[in-house]
Structure 1
Amino acid sequence: MSESNKPSLEVCLSPALLHLYDVKNSIVVIIDVLRATSTICTALYNGAARVIPVASVEECVNIGKAIGGITAGERDGRIAEGLVHGNSPFEYPREFIENQTLVLTTTNGTKMLHMAKDAIQIVTGSFPNISAVCDYLISQGQNVILGCAAWKDRVNLEDTLFAGAVVSRISANFDINCDSAIAAEALYNTAKGDIYSFMKQASHYKRLANFGLEKDIEYCLTPDGANVLPLFKNGELIAG
């Protein structure tokens, strides 16, 4: 707690910076807007029993076989070789995913989840579940780190924008003494009139648009389409 008796709110813009933050005394929100954390909340919202995030494709295949789960994931924005399903939220409608276990590996998001393992609690956030995330963070009264998965450790626009959107919504409840939180909120305030158009200059927008995934991008930038809170417990994500 800070001197103001409010918990602190900080933004970590890349996994490469996470070691600089007090993870053990914070709730960490893992943010990988395009597309891991958008897909996770969508799958859980549509009735998935759980999502198991794993680091490698090999691990994904092995666990999927062992438990009869759906194996999915991407590398560099495309379905990873050896997996049947990718990282598009549109691949996980209720009629497909309900009561199923999704085993998921992604380029950036799953790595960040495992890095934050010592946190008080880990949740995942993206625009489709922004209200659930904000309500939870306010209700807990704990220090918060908004952890951007970024792109191969490089800061990215979409995760920073989401962090800024969260800061904008909940800052009155927290003590903010963090330049990256201030910067993220300023970026969000610049973009909020039309986030989709603003995102067209982003590297990952261009990467995914090259694969014809504009619909995915639009969904991942739209608030509250899958308003559920994924909680990370015992190596798996469940709907809170």
Structure 2
Amino acid sequence: MTAENKPRLEVCLSPALLHLFDVKNSIVVIIDVLRATSTICTALYNGAAKIIPVASVEECVSIGKQLNAITAGERDGKIAAGLEHGNSPFEYPREFIEDKVLVLTTTNGTKLLHMAKDAIQIITGSFPNLDAVCEYLVSQGQNVILGCAAWKDRVNMEDTLFAGAVVSRIKEHFDVNCDSAIAAENLYDSGKADLFEFIKKASHFQRLAKFGLEEDIRYCLTPNGANVLPILRNGELVVG
């Protein structure tokens, strides 16, 4: 298959850049490694019935009451005031989350998810479900935008690293004519031998480490610990 016949694979490094991409004709992968999309796949892997991503804390509380659901989320790395639970994947073991509904709001990830609403399909990706994401994207044969949630619109290292890991694994099936995709893959190649050590320079590592969350970070950088595909259907994330 020539490059002309292959679907495009592009990386959007920040929500602030999403308007430059053809969202309507692409599958968009929402990437918020530390920690929203790692927590989403973990909760679904552990049997959550569904996850409802919402933009605001107020909406999270309101929907949680209506559905008698678990309300969770963070602002700037800490549990948001008014919510029951935070954004750590370790808060959602099977014995707690199985068959329950989780309403989730986060600083960056849920915002990008709502911005990408016109996409052909929205899925979420992180290292714990790396293989599931890659297999799905190859199977679909559609244009792909790897959308990094970033940090308050500023490019971040961890989401770029995951985008690079995906590019590295599936690029032969796609036309990759995108400098940000090439840069992401190069970053991943630089750090893949020890992602945890590599990411210690990153601002969000330092932000979370201050709260003693190094084990969260290590989990969020480890491939395939929760290898399911969260897919957005009717505003709800379910196992695809």
TM-score, with length taken from structure 2? 0.99
Determine the C-alpha separation between the residues in 2 that align with 1:86 and 1:117. 25
Superimposed CA distance per residue, residues 148-194 of structure 1 (whole angstroms, 9 cap, x where no aligned partner): 00000000000000000000000000001000000000000000011
Determine the C-alpha separation between the residues in 2 that align with 1:42 and 1:195. 19
Q: How does 1:79-158 map to 2 (within 5 A)?
A: 79-158=79-158
Determine the C-alpha separation between the residues in 2 that align with 1:53 and 1:183. 30
2:212 matches 1:208: no
Determine the C-alpha separation between the residues in 1 that align with 2:85 and 2:155. 27
Partner residue in 2 for 1:51: 51
Superimposed CA distance per residue, residues 41-79 of structure 1 (whole angstroms, 9 cap, x where no aligned partner): 000000000000000001000000000000000000000
Superimposed CA distance per residue, residues 118-169 of structure 1 (whole angstroms, 9 cap, x where no aligned partner): 0000000000000000000000000000000000000000000000000000
Q: Name the amino acid aligned to 1:237.
A: L
Partner residue in 2 for 1:230: 230
1:233 Cα deviation after fit: 1.0
Tell me the SS of whatever aligns to 1:118. Answer: coil
Q: Name the amino acid aligned to 1:72.
A: A
Tell me the SS of whatever aligns to 1:192. Answer: helix
Determine the C-alpha separation between the residues in 2 that align with 1:80 and 1:3. 46
Determine the C-alpha separation between the residues in 2 that align with 1:122 and 1:88. 22
Determine the C-alpha separation between the residues in 1 that align with 2:15 and 2:49. 28
Q: How does 1:121-200 map to 2 (within 5 A)?
A: 121-200=121-200
Determine the C-alpha separation between the residues in 1 that align with 2:3 and 2:129. 31
Q: Name the amino acid aligned to 1:18.
A: L
Partner residue in 2 for 1:9: 9
Q: Name the amino acid aligned to 2:59.
A: E
Q: Name the amino acid aligned to 1:129.
A: N
Runs of 4 or more consecutive aligned structure 1 residues displaced over 3 Å after TM superposition? none
Partner residue in 2 for 1:217: 217
2:31 matches 1:31: yes
Q: Name the amino acid aligned to 1:180.
A: S
TM-score, with length taken from structure 1? 0.99
1:4 Cα deviation after fit: 2.2
- Please tell me whether the aligned partners of residues 33 and 158 of structure 2 are also in contact (alpha carbons under 8 angstroms): yes
Tell me the SS of whatever aligns to 1:231. Answer: strand
Q: Name the amino acid aligned to 2:10.
A: E
Q: Identity, % of aligned pairs? A: 79
Aligned pairs, number: 240
User: What 5-or-longer segments of structure 1 have no aligned partner?
Assistant: none
Tell me the SS of whatever aligns to 2:226. Answer: coil
Determine the C-alpha separation between the residues in 1 that align with 2:90 and 2:80. 17
Determine the C-alpha separation between the residues in 2 that align with 1:17 and 1:167. 19
Determine the C-alpha separation between the residues in 2 that align with 1:131 and 1:101. 25
Determine the C-alpha separation between the residues in 2 that align with 1:176 and 1:235. 30
- Please tell me whether the aligned partners of residues 3 and 174 of structure 2 are also in contact (alpha carbons under 8 angstroms): no
1:3 Cα deviation after fit: 5.3
Q: Name the amino acid aligned to 1:37.
A: T
Partner residue in 1 for 2:41: 41
Determine the C-alpha separation between the residues in 1 that align with 2:101 and 2:203. 31
